[in-house]
């Protein structure tokens, strides 16, 4: 199967970029990967006209902590319009991977639905470190870029139905 870089987007948001507030939560576990995802997301948002003072960047110990942090950010005084969650879970020798990945996915969608804001799932769930590297700036692009693009598209969607 041919490897394809899926991280090329041309998006022109219709919402007022200067009014939007975006939270970004980044897992410290598998930090070389999550830092690459973060840098990709930040670069994409900057290119789309989002200013540094509109982005609220926080780290959490691991991907499992992303749902709690997203819920706390959603109710904080910062009043974010959307949250991008970036993490990396790599399959090990036990079923731990499955439990963590499922809990994170379920937790993030729950936060999104409970608080009525987009919570973007930018969590890699890979079998190997090599697969993660391919998706964090390698041959498959940067999923942090894709998460940031999804965030802006969802904010656009919300503006257009509002």
Confirm whether 58 is a catalytic residue.
no
- CB neighbours (10 Å) of residue 117? 20
Q: Residue 21: what are its φ and ψ, rounded to 5°? A: -125, 125
In angstroms, rounded to a whole number, what is the distance separating the alpha carbons of residues 151 and 30? 23
Query: Which DSSP string do the residues of 9-28 spell out, in sequence order?
Result: ------S-GGG--EEEEEES
* Active-site residue, selected from the candidate residues 8, 58, 96, 140: 96
In angstroms, rounded to a whole number, what is the distance separating the alpha carbons of residues 157 and 15? 9
User: Between 143-161 and 31-47, two packed helices, what is the crossing angle to 10 degrees?
Assistant: 40
* Residues carrying an active site annotation: 96
């Amino acid at each position: 199967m041919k490897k394809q870089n899926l991280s090329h987007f041309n998006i022109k948001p219709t919402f007022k970029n200067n009014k939007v507030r975006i939270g970004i939560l980044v897992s410290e576990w598998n930090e070389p990967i999550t830092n690459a995802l973060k840098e990709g997301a930040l670069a994409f948002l900057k290119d789309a006209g989002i200013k540094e003072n509109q982005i609220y960047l926080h780290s959490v110990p691991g991907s499992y902590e992303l749902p709690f942090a997203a819920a706390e950010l959603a109710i904080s005084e910062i009043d974010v319009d959307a949250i991008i969650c970036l993490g990396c879970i790599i399959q090990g020798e036990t079923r731990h991977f499955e439990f963590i990945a499922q809990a994170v996915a379920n937790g993030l969608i729950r936060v999104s639905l409970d608080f009525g804001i987009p919570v973007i799932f930018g969590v890699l769930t890979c079998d190997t470190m090599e697969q993660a590297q391919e998706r964090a700036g390698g041959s498959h692009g940067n999923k942090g870029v894709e998460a940031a693009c999804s965030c802006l598209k969802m904010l656009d969607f919300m503006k257009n139905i509002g």
